Amino acid sequence: MSRTVIRGGLVVTASDEMHADVLIEDGRIAALAATGTPAAGAWTAERTVDATGKYVIPGGVDGHTHMEMPFGGTYASDTFETGTRAAAWGGTTTIVDFAVQSVGRPLREGLDAWHAKADGRCAIDYAFHMIVSDVNQETLKEMDLLVTEGVTSFKQFMAYPGVFYSDDGQILRAMQQAAGNGGLIMMHAENGIAIDVLVEQALARGETDPRYHGEVRKALLEAEATHRAIRLAQVAGAPLYVVHVSAREAVAELARARDEGLDVFGETCPQYLFLSTDNLAEPDFEGAKYVCSTPLRPRDHQAALWQGLRTNDLQVVSTDHCPFCFSGQKELGRGDFSKIPNGLPGVENRMDLLHQAVVDGRISRRRWIEIACATPARMFGLYPKKGTIAPGADADVVVYDPHAEQVISAETHHMNVDYSAYEGRRVTGRVETVLSRGEFVVTGREFTGRAGHGTYTPRSTCQYLS
Ligand SMILES: NC(=O)NCCC(=O)O
Ligand SMILES: [Zn+2]
Ligand SMILES: [Zn+2]
């Protein structure tokens, strides 16, 4: 039996904070006991970690990543190997990535393709959502099967006509299926048909710079789609999770629906909390680094997102990690913003940026853990195996130094991308040691993990329903 003890830290979960020692046996949390008590003192172990002055927190659960995702004629630049290694560096020990159904092909084929990319290559545990690009009778039947196999959530797109787009009828059918099989529909809520008209008109006026990406993808078109998705889900009797919420008007739609008692949930991402259209407007095409959809919004939308996180009208912060190098990838859209591959890197930065929000007094320590670990685990059927520190849980544990200062930079990050969206940002707090199922993946700022340690983790259905 292998045993590790983490001594003297402040254990922080979504519900509690206590100065406790943590005993790990064979990859699981075996016990917690108050530091200095005879019970904790009696524990012996092969390895002891001194966490005095540090936080001991559950490993982060990033419920929204896109490793090696095809987009706009290229691929997201992190593989499952590089992306999960970077995630571990940033204190995330589980990702839920999106397998993609190609139009005209079965869901199974897409899922198999994602397993082929990920299996045997990940440094941390992983699971899959399924992007449903083509709703038909076969797809709907396959959804039932996938839920029984642990793929319990399905992303649909109201944007990207001709690629991932589903019309309202297709969305309603998938929602009805999810209502019957316990699946959770995740929605990319933007009115893509209207946006495509505005894109065409902007380009015809010669408006080709990255900043126009933000102008045509209007907040009102996010809010309108969010409203429509909510009402379609209500008609279907299905829960709904809206991904990458960026507009205050969309938060208002979610808040209204939740006030009505609907099982409607919202996710935002660090880029919407910390970046803005000011970044999209950076000169010399540098704004392309910040092109993602939904787009970055004017800075005054951020207050509504932070408030949504405090009031639980938004429940989760994921990264939507979808990196494209500036050189050779983002550059595909020079002279036409609509050809810039959509997505930002961030899987390594999420826990630190949200800790900075704790330092700045925007959220509490426990809320940090709730939105970044516990609720994503519950939302996607991984709790209490993931997302908490409690007897029986996987020993996915981070020793976090809340006082260390760092400057985020592409020079020092581990993501396979040639820029950082947060270049030069100074944050307080840093991951020191990371365990994944009891294995040391990062040990005192040194990577000690390995590709293939991470295992595929089938999920149960959403555990967050009212
Ligand atoms: N968000 C983004 O711009 N790229 C990733 C794909 C998606 O989540 O829509
Ligand atoms: Zn999306
Ligand atoms: Zn995404």
Task: Give the tens place of pLDDT for each residue, 243-277.
Answer: 999 999 999 999 999 999 999 999 999 999 999 99
320 touches ligand 1 (CB under 6 Å): yes
pLDDT at position 402 is: 98
Q: Compute the distance from residue 354 Cα to the ligand 3 centre, in Å.
A: 19
| The 3-state secondary structure of the chain, one letter per residue | CCEEEEEEEEEECCCCEEEEEEEEECCEEEEEEECCCHHHHCCCCCEEEECCCCEEEECEEEEEECCCCEECCEECCCCHHHHHHHHHHCCEEEEEEEEECCCCCCHHHHHHHHHHHHCCCCCCEEEEEEECCCCCHHHHHHHHHHHHCCCCEEEEECCCCCCCECCHHHHHHHHHHHHHHCCEEEEECCCHHHHHHHHHHHHHCCCCCCHHHHHHCCHHHHHHHHHHHHHHHHHHCCCEEECCCCCHHHHHHHHHHHHCCCCEEEEECHHHHHCCHHHHCCCCCHHHHHCCCCCCCCHHHHHHHHHHHHHCCCCEECCCECCCCCCCCHHHHCCCHHHCCCCECCCCCHHHHHHHHHHCCCCCHHHHHHHHHHHHHHHCCCCCCCCCCCCCCECCEEEEEEEEEEECCCCCCCCCCCCCCCCCCEEEEEEEEEEECCEEEECCCCECCCCCCCCECCCCCCCCCC
Using a 6 Å cutoff on CB, does residue 292 contact ligand 1? Answer: yes
* Beta strands across the sheet bearing 153-157: 60-65, 92-100, 125-131, 153-157, 184-188, 240-242, 264-268, 316-317
Q: Which CATH class is domain 59-379?
A: alpha beta
* Ligand 1 atom showing the smallest separation from residue 293 Cα: 3
Indicate if the pLDDT at residue 445 is higher than 80: yes
The average confidence (pLDDT) of the chain is 98
Task: Provide ipTM, 2 decimals.
Answer: 0.99
pTM of this structure: 0.98
pLDDT above 80 for 145: yes
To test the ligand 1 pocket, which listed residue (322, 330, 339) has its Cβ within 8 A of the most ligand atoms?
A: 322
Residue 293 Cβ < 6 Å to ligand 1: yes
Cβ of 244 less than 6 Å from ligand 1: yes
Amino acid at 166: S
321 C-alpha to center of ligand 3: Å? 7
pLDDT digits (tens, 9 = 90+) for 27-60: 999 999 999 999 999 999 999 999 999 999 999 9
- Closest-CA residue, ligand 1 atom 8, reads 320
- 328: how many CB neighbours lie within 10 A of its CB? 11
Q: Please, which pLDDT band fits residue 1 given cuts at 50, 70 and 90?
A: confident
For ligand 1, atom 5, name the residue with the nearest CA: 343
Percent of the chain with pLDDT over 70: 100
To which residue do tokens 């985020």 refer?
408
**Which has the closest alpha carbon to 459: 377, 357, 404?**
377
CA–centroid distance, residue 17 to ligand 1 (Å): 35
Going from N- to C-terminal start, the domains of the chain cover 59-379
Overall average pLDDT of the 182-187 stretch: 99
Q: What is the CA(427)–ligand 3 centre distance, in A? A: 25
User: Does pLDDT of 225 surpass 90?
Assistant: yes
Q: Read off the pLDDT band of 19 (50, 70, 90).
A: very high
Question: Which atom of ligand 1 is nearest to 243's Cα?
Answer: 8
User: What Rg value do the Cα atoms of the chain yield, rounded?
Assistant: 21
Distance, CA 317 to ligand 3 centroid (Å)?
Answer: 12
Which residue is closest in CA terms to ligand 1's atom 9?
Answer: 293
CA 6 to ligand 2 center in whole angstroms: 39
Interval 379-386 mean pLDDT: 98
Ligand number with the minimum distance to the CA of 293: 1
Q: What is the mean pLDDT of residues 82-95?
A: 99
User: 296: CA distance to ligand 1 center in Å?
Assistant: 12
Closest protein CA for atom 2 of ligand 1: 343
- 409 pLDDT band, cuts 50/70/90, is very high
